[in-house]
């Protein structure tokens, strides 16, 4: 069977397997928090989200620059705001209000942590009913800073030299994590995962980079890599145990770079058709994947409800029931908040483009102007929305 060509890759409007990966990542995290087997090490699902986010965001930016010759920072930030913030603040409000009604607003940590949640420094907030949102602190800072860095590098540098620059950044993050003491040990390594996804996007966008990775897009390679990735995931616990205590950093932190690189290799294979892509693109996987962001954020509310009505439930049964209720709540949020706000964001961007076109025409004394090119990132919106 043939491998994917670079032209075929650039022509892809959607990576259907990524919905399935998001579904697996979200369920892994819920299982990890609520009774799932320890050998599953579901916490690693967050690192999968990070790599996916870096890959999708950078792919959209590169394709927008390729299609229009520029990257619109304003549109980028508007898309991220309408995608991420509405559900985030709705669930934060419900969590805070529920804690106040229960009389635990201060004692459970949500009150003291609000300053972190409102400024997206969640990773330093400590334990609270909204503690799972720590990853949003990591991602939001990436969304704010990375587009500025990418544009500052310039499109030529971005295409030709960003790989070397990113490798340097990745190594710097590893060094900082291993040599500097933090209240949250190893936190910079979460950016290693995101930047690994960014580096993969740059490599696949480049003809030379794609040529190096092209053998991984063969269907046979996809099967082999998928099996290997499962092996890496199941080895997370023993690898973490082996590395535990190195330079005073917990083993589960030190295993992050290994897992991030394994995820990047898996993503490369999943860009092409194959058995794993077919499985991850099924309707059930797509259904859960589309709701994975809300599921991730609403999991504590679901677990609290289950604990109230079924306090004796534990183990794998608890994992399954909490996931099921969380998915039901996430479906409501997806329908009533996520999709309407995403669509509103698109309408806002469309109106702004139209207004900019009219203004340009007026400046040119009414001379006919070509329509503003549709940004590649908008045209490729079906590629998928990056999530935590």
pLDDT of residue 66: 87
Residue 374 lies in a domain: no
* Res. 170: pLDDT tops 60: no
- Our count of domains for the chain comes to 1
Dihedral-angle region of residue 245 (phi above 0 means left; psi in -120 to 50 means alpha; beta otherwise) = left
pLDDT of residue 181: 46
Residue 380 lies in a domain: no
* Res. 383: pLDDT tops 90: no
Query: What mean pLDDT is predicted for residues 357-378?
Result: 63
- 17-21, 143-147, 163-167, 212-216: lowest mean pLDDT where? 163-167
pLDDT band at 188 (very low <50, low <70, confident <90, very high): confident
Residue 146 lies in a domain: yes
Residue 344 lies in a domain: yes
- 121-125, 228-232, 281-285, 294-298: lowest mean pLDDT where? 121-125
Residues making up the chain, counted from first to last: 388
pLDDT of residue 375: 47
Residue 103 lies in a domain: yes
Percent of residues, the chain, with pLDDT higher than 70: 83
pLDDT digits 0-9 by tens, 266-319: 999 999 999 999 999 999 999 999 999 999 999 999 999 999 999 999 999 999
pLDDT digits 0-9 by tens, 126-165: 899 999 999 999 999 889 888 887 776 664 445 555 555 5
- Tell me the longest C-alpha to C-alpha distance in the chain: 74
Number of neighbours of residue 6 by Cβ within 10 angstroms: 17
Q: What is the pTM of this model?
A: 0.87
Residue 378 lies in a domain: no
Residue 54 lies in a domain: yes
Residue 286 lies in a domain: yes
Query: What mean pLDDT is predicted for residues 353-377?
Result: 67
φ, ψ for residue 290, nearest 5 deg:
-65, -25
Residue 150 belongs to domain spanning: 6-364
The CA–CA distances, whole Å, from 304 to 284, 297, 298 equal: 26, 13, 10
């Amino acid at each position: 069977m043939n491998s994917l060509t670079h032209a075929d890759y650039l022509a892809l409007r959607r990576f259907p397997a990524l919905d399935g990966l998001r579904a697996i990542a979200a369920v892994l995290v819920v299982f990890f928090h609520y009774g799932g087997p320890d050998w599953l090490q579901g916490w690693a699902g967050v690192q999968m989200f990070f790599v996916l986010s870096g890959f999708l965001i950078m792919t959209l930016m590169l394709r927008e620059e390729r299609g229009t010759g520029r990257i619109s920072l304003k549109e980028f930030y508007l898309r991220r705001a309408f995608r991420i913030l509405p559900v985030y603040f709705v669930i934060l409000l419900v969590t805070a209000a529920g804690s106040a009604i229960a009389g635990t607003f201060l004692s459970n940590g949500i009150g003291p942590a609000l300053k972190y949640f409102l400024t997206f420094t969640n990773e330093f907030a400590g334990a609270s009913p909204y503690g799972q949102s720590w990853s949003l602190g990591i991602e939001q800072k990436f969304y704010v800073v990375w587009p500025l860095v990418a544009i500052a590098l310039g499109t030529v540098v971005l295409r030709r030299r960003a790989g070397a620059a990113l490798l340097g950044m990745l190594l710097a993050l590893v060094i900082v994590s291993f040599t500097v003491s933090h209240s949250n040990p190893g936190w910079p390594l979460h950016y290693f995962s995101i930047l690994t996804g960014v580096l993969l996007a740059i490599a696949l966008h480049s003809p030379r980079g794609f040529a190096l990775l092209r053998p991984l897009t063969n269907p046979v390679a996809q099967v082999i890599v998928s099996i290997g990735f499962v092996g890496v995931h199941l080895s997370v616990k023993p690898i973490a145990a082996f590395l535990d205590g190195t330079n005073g950093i917990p083993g589960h932190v030190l295993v992050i770079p290994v897992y991030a690189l394994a995820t990047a290799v898996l993503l490369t294979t999943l860009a092409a058709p194959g058995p794993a892509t077919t499985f991850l693109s099924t309707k059930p996987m797509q259904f859960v994947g589309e709701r994975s962001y809300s599921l991730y954020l609403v999991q504590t509310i679901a677990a609290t409800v289950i604990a109230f009505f079924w306090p004796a439930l534990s183990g794998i049964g608890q994992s399954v029931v909490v996931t099921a209720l969380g998915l039901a709540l996430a479906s409501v949020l997806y329908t009533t908040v996520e999709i309407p706000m995403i669509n509103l964001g698109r309408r806002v961007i469309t109106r702004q483009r139209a207004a900019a076109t009219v203004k340009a025409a007026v400046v040119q004394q009414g001379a006919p102007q070509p329509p503003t090119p549709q940004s590649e990132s908008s045209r490729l919106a079906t590629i998928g929305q990056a999530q935590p």
